[in-house]
Structure 1
Amino acid sequence: MTNLYVADKLQRVTPAYPDDSLLRAAELLVQGGAGVLPIVSAGEPIGILTEQRLREAIAAGANWSEPVGDWMEEAFTPIRIETPVETAATYLANSMLPAIGVDAWGRYVGVVSLAHLIARPVAPVSVGTIGGMATPLGVYLTNGIVRAGAGDIGLALTGALLLILYLAASWMVMGSAQWAQTHLGIPLLSYYDSPYAYTWLASDLMGLMLRASEFLLFLLLMRMLPIAGTHAAEHMVVHAIERGEPLVLEVVRRMPRVHPRCGTNLVAGVALFLGLANFLQGMMPEMSEMRDLALLFALLATVLFWRPFGELLQWLATTKPPTDQQLLRAIRVGEQLLQRARPYSGVVPPFGIRLLRTGLPQILLGAWGTLALLSLLERLLGITLILG
């Protein structure tokens, strides 16, 4: 039983609430098949109902409509689900009390019995929904409870890298526009700063194209960096885990590098809506009812096409075919996540933990920190680093 935990051998019994009737509790007791029915309040176990206790209630003249909370037993043993099987089995062998499996926050997860700890086949690990990030330090994976791979520093570096890539794209576009205006007499910089954006004047269309080129150049720079291959490797490992495939190179190589839950899709949806809304509304006269219609059309188009557009951006820009080394490193992170998730199989973490595990706070902190550093350098050196 080495490397097995209580979470691997739990009985997933649907609990009752104190206000449930004895009839409902009896039904759940039969359905659970564990001989013990947990009674929970606010997610935490507060008592149990056994067949012996049910017989006592009937013998005492209890009505089937009475709340089970009046007849539950409060004597039980909570056991953390990350407890090794050997430790839990030794404890239960010397205890007469029923045992309830709880997570790290004391919330009910399942019923624990000595017989199941010893004899029950290992249940598949319930990892839950997996999220991930590609960072300069490698793949980051999480299921909202545990995480594996790149740590907080890697996530913060991702935020810094994304900001630097965007600024680099802006520098290149504005620098090229200024060079063309100075040396060739083509007023590209004036077009870029045009105050009449999103109209049909030639200068404004040129300005719109220049601003759109920043986004395209940003995507091109991302595609050129190794992080695009790391991003693809992350997607492919997540696909393999979600399909129940073994994490071996030959299998993971066959997985798609586009994933439907990638954050690129969300960015694509926002960009699609804002781009269409600004462009279409800019074509309409001021105070025109058609502006509202244009906004509605932009919303409808976004709802219909944001996911295909996001998947196209993933394929063309934010991912590229990974190397075998990138895949192998991502596979190791995936195996690490599965190992760490096993003791917490089926646990639902609090919102704050889930938010922290997404990596978004660390990414934002990295971007803001880089922005603050660049602002400080601007003041100290008297140069312009942040454009736009």
Structure 2
Amino acid sequence: MWRQLIVRYVAAAMAFVACAACGGQSASAPTSTPPPSNAIVRAKLEVTSVTVTGESLTTGYAYRTVVHLKETAGVAATIASIDLKFLSGGATVASLRHEQPISDSSNVCPANGAVDTRELVTLDNDPSHSYATTVRAIVTYTDSTTTVSTAEGSAEVGAASGPPPAQTYTLTGVISDDSTRRGIGGARIEVISGANLGKATMADASGRYVLDDLAAGSFRLRASAGGYDAGEQGIAVPANPQADFTLKQSVGCFYTLSPLSESVSAAGGSRSFTVTPSAATGCTWRASSSDPWITINGAASGSGAAAVSYTVAPNSGVGALLGSITIQWASGRAAFSVFQYPVRTNCQPEIVIHLSPNAWEAYVPLAVGCYIGKMAIDVPWVRVLGTHGGGTLLDVRADANAGAARTGHIRFSDERVYLQITINQDAAR
């Protein structure tokens, strides 16, 4: 009997322990929570595009760039800096690091967001550099993990804009005979002073002339023709859009000059022109120079046809000179004009520009006085559209290239070639 009681007691105790272990839970399967992940998500910044424009300066270029950014990993990115490198023909012509590229207060691209930089200006003040064709942007950024990363993008630099060209004006008029009021065909009109010094043209068969591309301002204008006394008057444009002349026929004997003008290099030198009378005898002349840098050699007077010899002193300045020798006779006078080119020592002998196959236009900086000369272009796909800043910026355009790599030249000369602009354009891609 005692043995049976002990067995029952032990069985009851074991049942009690088993029930306590179940904790009163239901019989359904226990639930569990996935373990936390140890992966770290970092910001990922992309350069979606780069917008860049170039501008010609008096010396060099200015590049204005905006970099467009986007974050794609869902983590905000702090932009530390943006390095811009401007390339021409594979060589770096300008570079600059821009810190705080977005603003002075915040330089963060939000998670899954986009942001544009402010306009980033890079200057290249080296006049020997060619205009950049490509810009490369390198963006350095961090996130909350302090990991430093970079993103890159690039773009082609469009054609350079330049200072707006100075407004120019046109002067017209009629040169006519004082007695008949008929136009004098072939008469010469020229500017002899002021900002438009050296500009000249010839009248048509009816005596009408057009003198264009004039800068605003005051200057003196001279009209001349064989067998007539020259006439002069002061002009101001744009206030005076028209200037007419009536020339008097030379009375009695008169002299004709050939040629009417001469251009001389900065080195100076000796030249001559002829004077021819209308009558074989009884017609005397006298020559005088209006400028100290023009000296008459030998006889300064005579009768009948003669050659007038003169010497032009060297010009050491960067500006051109215009002077004259006056031939006077009893009833009239005529002027022989002398134009002297400026000194060329400040002119860079060669400027080399390397271009992509795309169409291109830019202002090419020149030293003062280097534009004044005879210009020749040896290829049809290069054109000079004009100048700005008194000839210190040359507006050059090159057509797009659809074929093989090619080279063209713009040459400036007086008695020799003193400046050559070489334009190398890549083959079509």
Q: Structures share a fold, TM > 0.5?
A: no
Higher strand content, 1 or 2: 2
Higher helix content, 1 or 2: 1
Question: Relative contact order (C-alpha < 8 Å, sep 6+): which is higher?
Answer: 1
Output the TM-score relative to the length of structure 1: 0.24
Output the TM-score relative to the length of structure 2: 0.22
